[in-house]
Chains A and B, each alone.
Chain A
Amino acid sequence: MTCKCNHENAGDAEKPGMDRRTALKVSLAAVGAAALAPRLPAEAIVRPRMPASRLPGRATVVVFERGGWDALQLFAPTGDANYALKRPTTAIGAPGSGAAVTGLAMNSLFSMHPSMPGLHSLWTQPASRLAVVHALGYTPYHRSHFESQDLFETGQFGVVNADGWINRHLQATTGISTAPVRALALMNSLPRSMDGVFPCFAFSSLESLQFQATQPDLRAYLETIVDYTPTVGLSAARAGSYAGMKSTFDLIDMFSGINPATYVPQNGAVYPNTAMGSSFEQTAMILRGNLGVEFIQIDQGGWDHHADLFANIPTYAGALNGALSAFVQDMGADMADVAVLCMSEFGREVSENGSNGTDHGVGGAMMIAGGSVLGGQVHGAWPGLATSALAEGRFLAPANDFRQVILELLMDHMGGTVPSTVFPSMTYAPLGVF
Chain B
Amino acid sequence: MPLEPNRREVMQRWFRKPGAIQPPGNPQITQQAHVLNRATFGADAWSRARIATLGWQAWLDEQLSPDSIDDSAMTIALAAMPPTNNQRNRARREYLFRCARSRRQLQHRMLHFLSNHFNTDIAKTSGVTEVYDTTNYTRLAFANFFEVLLWSAKSPAMVVYLDSQTSLPASPNENYARELMELHTLGVYGGFSEADVSAAAKIFTGWRVQSGPPTVSGNEPSSARFAFLSLRHVQGPKTLAALGFSTPGYAGSAGVREGEELLDFLAEHPSTHALLSMKLCQYFVADAPPAGLVQRVQQVFATTRNLGQTVRAIFYDSEFFTPQTTREKAMDSIESMLNVVRRLEVNVSNANTLATLSNLLGQPALGESSPTGTPETSAAWQGPGQVLPRWNALAAEVGGSLPVSWNTLLGSSPPQGAVAVTDFFLNLLVDADVPPATRMALTFFFANRLAPLGSNPSSAVLQPHYRDFVGLILRLPEAQLH
**Complex CA–CA separation, A35 to B169 (angstroms):** 61
B173 within 8 A of A: yes
Nearest chain A CB to B208 CB, angstrom units: 12
B-side contacts of A276, CB under 8 Å: none
Q: Is the CB of A353 within 8 A of B168?
A: yes
Q: Is the CB of B395 within 8 A of A307?
A: no
> Mask for A294-310, Cβ within 8 A of B = 1, else 0?
00000001101011100
Tell me if B172 and A240 are in contact (CB < 8 A): no
- B401 CB–A CB distance under 8 Å: no
- For window 77-104 of chain A, which residues contact chain B by CB distance below 8 Å? none
B468 with A214: CB separation less than 8 A: yes
Contact of B388 among A187, A203, A233, A308 (CB under 8 A): A203
A244 and B387 contact, Cβ closer than 8 Å, known pairs A144-B182, A204-B362, A213-B471:
yes
Measured CB to CB, the closest approach of chain B to A133, in angstroms, equals 25
The answer to whether the Cβ of A242 comes within 8 Å of any Cβ in the partner chain is yes
Within 8 A of B (CB), among A277-315: 301-302, 304, 306-308
Q: Which residues of B163-216 have CB atoms within 8 Å of chain A's CB atoms?
A: 163, 166-175, 178, 182, 188, 194, 197
Whether A237 is near chain B, meaning CB under 8 Å from some CB there, is yes
* Given A234-B24, A351-B171, A355-B163, A1-B472 contact (CB < 8 Å): no
Point out the residues of chain A lying under 8 angstroms from B175, CB to CB: 304, 306, 359
Partner of A219, one of B1, B329, B330, B388: B1
- Contacts A306-B163, A354-B166; A213 near B395 (Cβ below 8 A): yes
Query: Which residue, A146, A219, A225, has most C-beta atoms of chain B within 10 A?
Result: A225
Provide the residues of chain B in CB contact with A306, threshold 8 Å: 163, 166, 173-175
With known contacts A2-B384, A241-B481, A215–B468 Cβ distance under 8 A:
yes
B439, chain A: closest CB distance, angstroms: 10
**Contact assessment for B392 and A357 in the assembled complex, using a CB-CB cutoff below 8 Å:** no
* Contact partners of A208 in chain B: CB under 8 A: 385, 388-389, 392
Decide yes or no whether B349 CB sits under 8 A from chain A.
Answer: no
- Asked if A187 contacts B385 (CB within 8 A), the reply is yes
Evaluate contact between A201 and B384: CB separation under 8 angstroms. Answer: yes
Q: Is A228 in contact with B194, judged by CB distance below 8 angstroms?
A: no
Bound Cα distance from A351 to B173, whole angstroms: 12
A220 and B385 contacting across the interface, CB-CB below 8 Å: no
B369, B386, B396, B468: the one contacting A301 at CB < 8 Å is B369
Alpha-carbon distance between A203 and B388 when the two chains are bound, in angstroms: 8
Determine if A244 and B15 form an interchain contact, defined as CB atoms under 8 angstroms apart. Answer: no
B383 touches A1 (CB 8 A): yes
Give chain B interface residues in 373-399, CB to chain A under 8 Å. Answer: 378-380, 382-389, 391-392, 395-396
Q: Does A13 contact B (CB under 8 A)?
A: yes
A208 and B16 CA atoms in complex are apart in Å by 33
B328 → A minimal CB distance (Å): 5
Chain A residues in 8 Å Cβ range of B249 = none
Q: Contact between A355 and B166 (Cβ–Cβ < 8 Å)? A: yes
Q: How far is the CA of A241 from the CA of B441 in the complex (A)?
A: 19
Residues in chain B near residue A229, CB distance under 8 A: 15, 21, 435, 437-438, 477
Complex: A189 Cα to B389 Cα, angstroms: 13
Chain B residues 446-482 with CB under 8 Å of chain A are 448, 464, 467-468, 471-472, 475-478, 480-481
Residue in A16, A221, A233 whose beta carbon sits within 8 Å of that of B3 in the complex: A221
* Interface residue B92 (Cβ < 8 Å from any Cβ of A): no
Complex contact B3–A214 (CB within 8 A)? no
Question: Do the beta carbons of B173 and A354 come within 8 Å of each other?
Answer: yes
**Would you call A217 an interface residue if the criterion is a C-beta within 8 Å of the partner chain's C-beta atoms?**
yes
Q: Give the nearest-CB partner of A351 in chain B.
A: B171
Whether A218 is near chain B, meaning CB under 8 Å from some CB there, is: yes
Given contacts A210-B392, A217-B3, contact A189 B477 (CB under 8 A): no
The distance from the CB of B123 to the nearest CB of chain A, in whole angstroms, is: 9
Given A228-B15, A240-B330, A360-B174; A221-B441 close (CB under 8 Å): yes
A245 contacts partner chain B, Cβ-Cβ < 8 Å: yes
In angstroms, Cα B385 to Cα A245, docked, is 10
CB distance from A315 to the nearest CB of B (A): 12
- The answer to whether A230 touches B12, judged by C-beta atoms less than 8 angstroms apart, is no
Task: Report if B50 contacts A (CB, 8 A).
Answer: no
| Residues in A whose Cβ lies below 8 Å from that of B63 | none
Asked if B472 and A221 sit within 8 Å, CB to CB, the answer is yes
* Interface: B2 (CB within 8 A): yes
**Contact between B471 and A238, CB atoms less than 8 A apart:** no
Q: Check A233 against B173 for contact (C-beta < 8 Å).
A: no
Smallest distance from the beta carbon of A314 to chain B beta carbons, Å?
17
* Residues of chain B contacted by A211 (CB below 8 angstroms): 391-392
CB nearest to A143 among chain B residues: B194
Q: Is B83 an interface residue (CB 8 A)?
A: no
Give B contacts to A, CB under 8 Å: 1-3, 8, 11-12, 15-16, 21, 23-25, 163, 166-175, 178, 182, 188, 194, 197, 286-288, 324, 327-330, 362, 369-372, 378-380, 382-389, 391-392, 395-396, 435, 437-438, 441-442, 445, 448, 464, 467-468, 471-472, 475-478, 480-481
A-B contact pairs, 22 of them (CB 8 A): A212-B392, A212-B396, A214-B464, A215-B468, A218-B468, A225-B437, A229-B477, A230-B15, A236-B379, A237-B286, A237-B327, A237-B330, A237-B378, A238-B327, A238-B481, A241-B481, A248-B387, A302-B369, A306-B173, A307-B173, A354-B173, A357-B173
Ranked 6 nearest A-B pairs via Cβ: A354-B168, A355-B166, A216-B1, A188-B385, A228-B15, A241-B477
